[in-house]
Amino acid sequence: MSLSNALSSSVSGLAAASTQISVIGDNIANANTPGFKEKRAMFTAILGQNITAGSGFAQIGAGVRVNDVGMIFSQGVFDQTQRGTDLGIEGKGFFVLEGNLGRSYTRAGAFGFDADGWLVDPNLNRVQGYGIDPTTGNSNGVLDDIRINVPLSPPQATTQIQLAKNLKSSSQVIPGGFDVNDPQATSNAQEVVTIFDTLGTARQATIFFTHTAANQWEFNVTLANDDAAGTPATPDFIVQAGGNGTLDFDTNGNLTAVNGGTTYPSVTFAFDTTNGAAAAQPIDFSLGQIVGGPVIAGPPSTQFDTASVTNFVSQDGFAPGTLSALQIDEQGRLNGVFSNGVTTSLAQLALANFGNVEGLTDIGGSRLIESLDSGPPIIAAAGSGNLGNIRASSLEKSNVDLAQQFVNLIIGQRAFQANTRTVSVANELLSNLVNLGQ
């Protein structure tokens, strides 16, 4: 091998070591960059020439070159934050971004909402995901930019009332039964339940209970007269259609019959329609399990010789609500929490994966784009298939190991120094050759 070849090999070694040190420097500089993936320089030998040796041909190298600078996609640890839209991916996958330069991918989930409600990264690239089918509650499968612009949750009219109450067995018997013109004097117990019409207006339904005989009670479901159809006048309450009947208990205090049977009536409420709500609203009314009747979840109504108390009351209606908070779960669902207590899925994050993630092209800004080496993306909802789960209020830290980088830096430095020594020796030998003729 000639001395000139030794010089060129050493120069290639200097170039390779310089590239390695540059890559290490970039890793160290981005040690605190969320979602950054460590890079490493890969080297390959350069074949120079074949020479004739005693046993045949021998090959002499001509130095080294950088074959590739690849990314290492190991999982980074998570930093907890106080921001709900800071997102990390636990497992495989990349967030999908759409911007002026087209689609890109990232592991850096420092997102937020812009003034128009779009979920964006710090460079205003929009985060992509799926809308939610209101019928199924699942993602609709149509990939699009995520925008949260839902100022109100619509109301839901009450369709059922469930009440479980103990009626005191030794309550005074009122033989004449309930009188709507004098409800307080002709009832032993009552329950006020707030219900909602089709527009979400709250209405007060009052259920009166009257002890009419041993082990027998009368119930009357009423609305205040100024809430009911018609001109406000006496009586103060109006019994709603289907909203009255009898309750029979056995000697153990168990409810055995309603109106002589084992099913409950459907009560039709007549609402004042001046606010535009539906005039008639049927509501299923239940006082709990009837002995021998259809199974009803929840506690039953009873007749024990203790105070008339309410054990359970519920209804399924609610008023309109404003968006008060946004929560993101492991499957990347953006769930809106509304002031009326309703939680609704509004969108779902998409994640992308590739056949060869190391083939992705780094375009800066913690973003990557696909290439021929990476293959096309496989995009689906977060948490599905082999895609990772979402960690809300968390940012994935860089996977750079600083200690290892400093070790690599020393190795690169020594490689550079060794190649400079080779250049120095070759130069000295060439000088000796030049001086032979003197």
Domain boundaries defined on the chain:
3-74+399-435, 78-153+322-396, 160-315
Q: How far apart are CA 355 and CA 359, in angstroms?
A: 9
Tokens for 146? 């995520």
Per-residue confidence in pLDDT tens, the chain, 438 aa? 466 666 777 777 788 888 888 999 999 999 999 999 999 988 887 766 666 655 656 666 667 888 888 899 999 999 999 999 999 999 999 999 999 989 999 999 999 999 999 999 999 999 999 999 988 888 999 999 999 987 788 999 999 999 999 999 999 999 899 998 899 999 999 999 999 999 999 989 999 999 999 999 999 999 887 644 444 444 567 888 778 899 999 999 999 999 999 999 889 888 877 777 777 889 999 999 999 999 998 899 999 999 999 999 999 999 999 999 999 999 999 999 999 989 999 999 999 999 999 999 999 889 999 999 999 999 999 999 999 999 999 999 999 999 999 998 898 888 888 878 877 776 667 676 667 766
CB 142 within 8 A of CB 130: yes
Residue 76 gets which letter from DSSP? P
Coarse DSSP helix, strand, coil percentages of the chain, rounded to the nearest 5 percent = 15, 45, 40
CB 345 within 8 A of CB 352: no
What are the residues whose beta carbons fall under 8 Å from the beta carbon of 7, sequence distance 6 or more? 423, 426, 427
CB 329 within 8 A of CB 392: yes
Q: Alpha carbon of 160 to those of 155, 196, 257, 333: distances in Å?
A: 15, 11, 19, 29
The neighbour count for residue 353, using CB atoms within 10 Å, is 18
Q: Name the residue with tokens 């339904």.
A: 205
Q: Which residues pair with 47 in a beta bridge?
A: 61
Task: Using alpha carbons, select from 437, 438, 432 the residue that is nearest to residue 3.
Answer: 432
Residue type, 237: F
Total-model pTM: 0.74
Fold type of domain 160-315: Tick-borne Encephalitis virus Glycoprotein; domain 1 (2.60.98)
Q: How far apart are CA 283 and CA 238, in angstroms?
A: 16
